[in-house]
Structure formats: C-alpha cells, structure tokens
Structure 1
C-alpha cells in the first residue's frame, strides 16, 4: 500500500515540485509537460500481461531500457532547449521512480525470504 502511494506520489505530486523549481513563472505549463512524459508508459501495452505487479519496468519495456535511459540522460546534457530538457528531466525522473519501485519490490521479496 505504501509502495503504491509513494510510486504514484512521485509520478504526480513530486513532479509539480520539479515544475515549480524549473520554471516558477510557468509552473502549470511545466507540470503539464512533465505529466505528458507519463506517455512513456505506452510501452506497457506491448507486454503480456499488460500489468504485472511483480515485473520491474526498468530493462523490460522498450522505453524503459538502458539504451532509452541513456538517450534521456544525453538529451538532458546536450540539448539546450529548455522545454526539451524539461521533457528529459521528466523521463529521467520517471525512470528513477520506476527504479525505486523495482528496488522496493525486490526488497520485499528479500525480506519475505529471510523473515519466513
């Protein structure tokens, strides 16, 4: 329950704070851009099953692959357009959020293994 709350709070609430830090005068526009980066999850539709709570997105889905993440990081580093950089920030933060979820899920499995 807490894991799900933290995951979606990162996806929807924390990005508002990122938008505010990035462009305080255009916080709502920035927030909408960051929300749009959630479309990266469209690659979940290609998986069978579409949703598997025990599956780690990082490294499994096309737009969550190591190569895709590298592209997001390189875009942030080398592209100077502030809106493209914001998109890359959103994508990188999305991957961090999903990675936290993977670690948390594996930690729970680790804990269950040693506690029971």
Structure 2
C-alpha cells in the first residue's frame, strides 16, 4: 500500500508541483499537459503480461528506455516541447521511485 501511494502520489503530485513552481501563470494548462505525458504508458501494451507488479518499467518498456529518456531530456530545449518533456521526465522519476521501492 505504501509503494502504491508513493507511486501514484508522485505521478500526480510531482507534475502539479512542477507546474506551480515553473509555470505559475499557466499552471493549470501546464499540469494538464504534463498529465498527458501518461501516454508513454501505452508501451505497457507490448509487454506480456501487460502488468507485473514486480517488474521495473525503466529500461524494460521502449518508451521507458534510457534512449527514450535521453530524447525526453533533449525535448526540454525547445520551448514548444518543454512542458510535455517535464511531464515525461516526472513520469520517469515516478516509475524510478517505484523501482527503488521494490
């Protein structure tokens, strides 16, 4: 239960904190864009089984790979993709915390 609370607390709380800190004037829009970064979990559909509570997502699923994370870091550079990149990286940090708690 602790791991579940930490995992989903970070998934929703970290983007909220980032939106309030870095994008104060448009925090609601920034938060919603960052939540849209959950789309990277679609790569779980490629795994068998789709959900395994004892599996670390980082570097297992294609959109959670180290290469993908590098692309997400590069996406911080253009202003056009910055908010979405923050959401992607917040998602990766949340999944990483989940891996550490296993």
Bin of the TM-score, shorter chain as denominator length: over 0.9
Runs of 4+ in structure 1 off by over 6 angstroms are: none
Equivalent residue number for residue 67 of structure 1 = 67
Partners of 1:93 and 1:27 in 2: CA distance: 15
Cα RMSD over matched residues?
Answer: 1.0
Name the CA distance, whole Å, in 2 between partners of 1:14 and 1:48: 29
Distance 1:102 1:3 in 2: 10
TM-score norm. by structure 2 comes to: 0.94
Task: Answer with 1 or 2: which has the greater Rg.
Answer: 1
After TM superposition, list the pairs within 5 Å mapping 1:88-107 onto structure 2. Answer: 88-105=85-102
Report the Cα distance in structure 1 between the residues aligned to 2:74 and 2:63, rounded to whole angstroms: 15
Give the deviation of 1:14 after TM superposition: 2.4
Q: Distance in 2 between matches of 1:74 and 1:29?
A: 22
Q: CA deviation at 1:104?
A: 1.1
The correspondence of residues 5-24 of structure 1 with structure 2, limited to 5 A, is 5-24=5-24
1:40 matched to which residue of 2?
Answer: 40
Listed one character per residue, the Cα deviations across residues 13-58 of structure 1 (whole Å, up to 9, x for unaligned) are: 2211111112112111011001000111010011111100001100
Q: What 5-or-longer segments of structure 1 have no aligned partner?
A: 106-116
Number of corresponding residues: 102
| Residues in 1 aligned to 2:27 and 2:73: alpha-carbon distance in whole angstroms | 23
- Deviation at 1:12? 0.9
Q: Distance in 2 between matches of 1:99 and 1:37?
A: 16
